[in-house]
Amino acid sequence: MADQTSTNARRGLPAGSVLIVGLGRFGGSLARTLVGLGTEVLALDHDARLVQSHANELPHVAQADATDLTALRQLGAHEYDTAVVAIGAGIESSVLVTAALIDLGIERVWAKAITDQHARILERVGAHRVFRPEAEMGARVAHLVSGRMLEYLPLDDGFVLAEMSAPAAFVGRALGEIGLRAAHRVTVVCVKHPGETFTYAEASTVVRAGDLLVLAGSPDDVEQVVRLR
């Protein structure tokens, strides 16, 4: 059964606790994953049907109007280290909830945006981190569908990690000899030989056929290296 009681009795939350507002596909998946990782999570939604559908999966889930500061305080929302506004539709609601969480003094407020304009508004009301999962996933998949990369992870606007299969031109050569950092400003962070686990890359590491390489660098520089054959 959903936890509908005030969380005033739940003071002393562990570090890293997360409040999630919005239990759509993204918010629900985020909440379940965090709970599975052992994170203390309180999930809120205004829709009683969604709250009930997650009652057996989430230890603490409640129906609430997250634009109402009084309701948020009664639920102990201000005690959480991080809040994620995962509202999938309704820009006005998303902005109002984000503003309310900022007013509560929550240390980190993440907010989901559905358009560039929405993202700018969220930033102006004080969201500490604005993300666009659909757009970000689209950009990530675009780098993967060519088949040259196995994984692609942007860490910042100008820095990414990417996983690739070792090109034939690298096989039998040490990383220091290949000289990717000098030639392309890209660093090989780690290497996975066939049948083994990933290990830190060193200049003396010799690339074998079937190796997986994890690269770090700017998107353009990494793309150039991935195109090498």
| Any domain includes 150 | yes
127 and 168 part of one domain: no
Quickly state the pLDDT bin for 11 (edges 50, 70, 90).
low
Q: Are residues 120 and 69 in the same domain?
A: yes
Domain contains 140: no
Residues 175 and 204: their CA atoms lie apart, in Å, by 6
Co-location of 56 and 13 in the same domain: yes
Domain that holds residue 163: 146-226
Q: What tokens appear for 89 in the block?
A: 């539709």
Indicate whether 175 belongs to any domain: yes
Per-residue pLDDT of 59-118, as tens digits, reads 999 999 999 999 999 999 999 999 999 997 789 999 999 999 999 999 999 999 999 999
Strand order through the sheet with 18-21:
61-63, 41-45, 18-21, 82-85, 108-112, 129-131
In-domain check, residue 161: yes
Q: Can you read off the two tokens belonging to residue 14?
A: 């562990």
DSSP 46: S
Please name the helix (run of DSSP H) or strand (run of DSSP E) that holds residue 135, with its range, or none: helix 133-144
d(CA 212, CA 85): 37
**CATH number of the domain encompassing residue 190:** 3.30.70.1450
Q: Within a domain: residue 138?
A: no
State both tokens at 166. Answer: 């070792």
pTM > 0.75: no
In the chain, the amino acid numbered 101 is L
Mind listing the pLDDT tens digit for each residue in 113-163?
999 999 999 999 999 999 988 888 887 888 788 777 899 988 877 899 999
Are 150 and 127 part of one and the same domain?
Answer: no
